[in-house]
Amino acid sequence: MSLVRVEDLSVEFGSGPGAVRAVDGVSFTLEKGGALALVGESGSGKSTVASALLGLHRGTGAHVQGTVLVDGVDVRTVSEPELRRLRGGKAAMVFQDPLSSLDPYYAVGDQIAEVYRVHTGASRRAARARAVEVLDRVGIPDAARRSRSRPHEFSGGMRQRTLIAMALACEPALLVADEPTTALDVTVQAQILDLLHTLRTETGMGLLLVTHDVGVAAESVDEVLVMRDGRAVERGAVHEVLGAPREAYTQELLKAVPRVDSPLVPPAGEPGEVVLEAVSLRREFGRGKRAVTAVDDVSLTVRRGETLGVVGESGSGKTTLGRMLVGLLAPTAGQLLHGGVERPGGQVAPGVQMVFQDPVSSLNPRRSVGEAIADPLRARGESDSFVRGRVRELLERVGLEPAHYDRYPHEFSGGQRQRVGIARALAAEPRLIVCDEPVSALDVTTQAQVVALLAELQRELGLALVFVAHDLAVVRQVSDRVAVMRQGRIVEQGPVAEVYGAPQDPYTKRLLAAVPALDPEAAARRRVAREELAAA
């Protein structure tokens, strides 16, 4: 008997003419100990399928049709008590955002112990011991002590490990992982993927991985099912689907994936005058013995028409650096010169704008996107008629409809909201735009569209760009030069071909070794190499 059997699954939200069919006739099986990835763009229905395996659509008003069997349990018809026993006991889910999945008020060990007690009836002492055991199993150092920590005291990677530990507490037969590495940098992502592989090998559990990152699928699974608009487009062994895809959609999806080994595109023109110069920048948070140095002795220049990529792990200081370059943070020490003129610390420099990582939190949900874009124009004292006309031009320029002026952020997709953010930055007619992780939450095709838009705008307007990201493949694709940051310092800096082709610093080499490979065989070899390096 298969661990998972899904036949003709359909999920519809709403009713009548406005109903949306998120999943339409999807079928697949997953054997015990096997690993299957659901791959597709945002809105393809892959997370909806994953949620259906644990009956998470119950009580939401969704209409679910078809057969969903997990370890012999009919998820659609089973009683509520049986469904609760299934969740966590036979099947467990790891969600994308660990902060929203963990209670901020309770120690992580207590949360894991509670899950274990609910499903097994164990004593408090036994549950506590089990929590420490699984935290240790997923690589949390000093697990007994750290089990008393709260979620905010953990890094993003450690929080994700905690969620995996919670899922493993009751030794489930199936682990469903929904975008478990999306917000993580490449080295932590590699650690989480290696952990999932090791756990599957040692425990024999099945893995259903939901991801928009094809490289993550290549690193983690045996089979791939490609989804589009709620339907299954192509399914097969991972080396077949990624190595020789049959369907045109799969081929286009793979073409959109940025790669560290793809040919470099020559710069469109020679860089112009220096737009921005940073000299020995330093930024500390806190005072006295508790002071933390986020950026330490960083110097760089950015010229008109070029893109400087800034890469590094979470906590390396790259976002703090980006905010200083714009003027949102004042340097503790050092100089910032815009067009050769030093700006007072903490003042936003004219001609410099920022595109933020999360367009949802950077756009006011109570204001239309047109009014958000209009802010720099209104601050300049422009008339209403000019403002509306200019905003409509900007909307059209970034690939949106001029009529979208009066729509609100929730009416747009993630990629469209990022386009709104770019339009807002352009409204101020900047010479330099600092992009802070502008595509990290987007699927590969939307990511490619946003990157292409930025490149087109740069060519047309002669913009200088600082592109801050943890995705080394994307940075390689967009940058002329790259600066690698670690613990607040730039450890390596130079033309992108040199840094990627012949890295000098051991840290840069480790970063590049952690980038997912689209070739499953190469991914397996690199996993072994990482294990050997960790054991050395």
> Which value, to the nearest 10 degrees, does the dihedral of the CA atoms of residues 530, 531, 533, 534 take?
110
Mean pLDDT in the chain?
A: 87
Residue 164 has pLDDT above 80, yes or no: yes
The Cα–Cα gap between 387 and 370 comes to 9
CA distances from 382 to 251, 369, 378, 425 (A): 47, 18, 5, 17
What's the pLDDT score for residue 189?
A: 81
Residue 109 has pLDDT above 70, yes or no: yes
SS3 78: coil
Q: Across residues 346-368, what is the average pLDDT? A: 81
The Cα–Cα gap between 330 and 341 comes to 16
Q: Among 36, 35, 29, which Cα is nearest to 1's?
A: 29
Looking at residue 265, the DSSP 8-state letter turns out to be P
Q: What angle do CA 87, 91, 93 make, to 5 degrees?
A: 80
Residue 262 has pLDDT above 80, yes or no: no
Exposure of 322 by Cβ count < 10 A (0-12 exposed, 13-18 middle, 19+ buried)? buried
Residue 120 has pLDDT above 90, yes or no: no
The Cα–Cα gap between 181 and 173 comes to 21
| CA 212 to chain CA mean position, Å | 9
What's the pLDDT score for residue 494?
A: 94
Tens of pLDDT, residues 409-457:
888 877 888 899 999 999 988 999 999 988 877 788 888 888 888 988 9
Domains of the chain and CATH, by start: 4-255 (3.40.50.300), 280-351+432-454+464-505 (3.40.50.300), 364-429 (no CATH)
CB 120 within 8 A of CB 161: no
CB 155 within 8 A of CB 315: yes
User: How many C-beta atoms lie closer than 10 Å to residue 347's C-beta?
Assistant: 11
What's the pLDDT score for residue 10?
A: 94
What's the pLDDT score for residue 48?
A: 92
* Bridge-based pairing state of the strands 73-74 and 63-70: antiparallel
Within 8 A by CB and 6+ apart from 428, the residues are 351, 353, 376
Q: Among 493, 456, 500, 494, which Cα is nearest to 474's?
A: 500
User: How many C-beta atoms lie closer than 10 Å to residue 407's C-beta?
Assistant: 17
Least reliable range by pLDDT among 63-72, 285-294, 318-327: 285-294
Least reliable range by pLDDT among 17-31, 43-57, 180-194, 220-234: 180-194
What's the pLDDT score for residue 515?
A: 83
Backbone angles phi, psi at 331, to 5 degrees: -65, 145
User: pLDDT class for 370, splitting at 50, 70, 90?
Assistant: very high
Helix and strand totals (H; E) in the chain: 21, 20
Q: What angle do CA 329, 331, 332 make, to 5 degrees?
A: 125
Residue 356 has pLDDT above 80, yes or no: yes
**Residue bearing the bigger pLDDT, 172 or 1:** 172
Residue 261 has pLDDT above 80, yes or no: no
Looking at residue 327, the DSSP 8-state letter turns out to be T
What's the pLDDT score for residue 351?
A: 86
Sheet containing 341-342, strands listed edge to edge, beginning at the edge strand earlier in sequence: 292-303, 274-285, 333-338, 341-342
What's the pLDDT score for residue 265?
A: 66
The Cα–Cα gap between 31 and 69 comes to 12
> Which value, to the nearest 10 degrees, does the dihedral of the CA atoms of residues 158, 161, 162, 163 take?
130
Exposure of 202 by Cβ count < 10 A (0-12 exposed, 13-18 middle, 19+ buried)? exposed
CB 70 within 8 A of CB 49: no
CB 372 within 8 A of CB 423: no
What's the pLDDT score for residue 332?
A: 92
The Cα–Cα gap between 103 and 529 comes to 36
Looking at residue 17, the DSSP 8-state letter turns out to be G
Residue 479 has pLDDT above 60, yes or no: yes
CB 391 within 8 A of CB 336: no
What's the pLDDT score for residue 496?
A: 93
Exposure of 501 by Cβ count < 10 A (0-12 exposed, 13-18 middle, 19+ buried)? exposed
Residue 202 has pLDDT above 60, yes or no: yes
Q: Across residues 63-69, what is the average pLDDT? A: 93
What's the pLDDT score for residue 534?
A: 64
**Residue bearing the bigger pLDDT, 107 or 181:** 107
SS3 408: coil
Residue 268 has pLDDT above 60, yes or no: no
Percent with pLDDT over 70 in the chain: 96
Q: Across residues 341-367, what is the average pLDDT? A: 79
Joined tokens for residue 8 = 């003709």
Q: What are 277's strand-pairing partners?
A: 301, 337
SS3 19: coil
What is the identity of the amino acid at 464?
A
User: pLDDT class for 536, splitting at 50, 70, 90?
Assistant: low
